[in-house]
Amino acid sequence: MKGLKRLALLLATAVMTVSAVALVGCAEKTNASYSTGVPESYADKVTLIIDDLSTEEVDAYFQVDYAEFAQDATAFDLMEKLKADGKLCFKSEDSSYGAFLTAAGVIEGGEEKYLIEADDAAQVFIAIYTNVEAEMLGPNSITYGSETVESSAVGISQMTLKNGAVICLTAESWA
Ligand SMILES: [Ca+2]
């Protein structure tokens, strides 16, 4: 009887050890806070894309359920949520028309990794695109799978969201 109890205890310890290893393995797999390429679907989601246009693929995208946002939520609320969730990093300055983005990137291995950055000396700024009709300005557009985004007519703090919204950030030169 005593022997059996000890065996049961040993087994339980072994199972716990295996579980702990499995959890660590899982955490490592989901370490990336973002995806690359074009999303399979935009339905019922709000998508934020960061695309360095000098590389062919979409460098990072994030998707959040549309249901998580209030009706009057802005694209900046989306960015703040992703930042609070430890997935996105960005730099912004306050301006008279709300936040002015100067850099955006991902969190990788707990570190901030900026993918696009504004650079006044090089005349590079963060350009913002959207597929929300109210703010689509054109004529610049980029197509990501089934969705086409156009230059936003307003700043990130004034941009609205919708079910299936795609907000895209790139770095572009005004020169
Ligand atoms: Ca790219």
Annotated domain spans of the chain: 1-30, 45-173
Distance from Cα 171 to the centre of ligand 1, integer Å? 10
- Please give the pLDDT value at position 138: 87
Judged on CB neighbours under 10 Å (0-12, 13-18, 19+), 30 is: exposed
Count CA atoms within 13 Å of residue 120 on its CB side: 1
Tell me: the pLDDT tens digits for 92-125?
Answer: 999 988 999 999 999 999 999 999 999 999 999 9
- Please give the pLDDT value at position 28: 39
- Please give the pLDDT value at position 13: 54
Fold for 45-173, please state it. Ferric Hydroxamate Uptake Protein; Chain A, domain 1 (2.170.130)
Distance from Cα 51 to the centre of ligand 1, integer Å? 4
Percentage with pLDDT > 70 across the chain: 82
- Residue 23's φ and ψ, nearest 5 degrees, are -65, -45
- For 79-100, what is the mean pLDDT? 95
Distance from Cα 1 to the centre of ligand 1, integer Å? 65
- Residues near ion ligand 1 (Cβ under 5 Å): 51-52, 55, 59
The dihedral built from the CA positions of residue 95, 98, 101 and 106, taken in this order, carries a sign that is positive
User: C-alpha distances in angstroms, 116 versus 102, 126, 128, 146, 154?
Assistant: 8, 7, 12, 24, 20
- Please give the pLDDT value at position 174: 84
Report d(CA 140, CA 175) in Å as an integer.
16
Give which of 61, 44, 45, 54 is closest to 144, Cα–Cα.
61
The 10 Å Cβ neighbour count of residue 13 is 10
Q: Which residues contact 155 (CB under 8 A, 6 or more apart)?
A: 95, 97, 98, 99, 100, 128
Distance from Cα 22 to the centre of ligand 1, integer Å? 34
Distance from Cα 112 to the centre of ligand 1, integer Å? 18
Distance from Cα 54 to the centre of ligand 1, integer Å? 6
Residues, the chain, total?
175
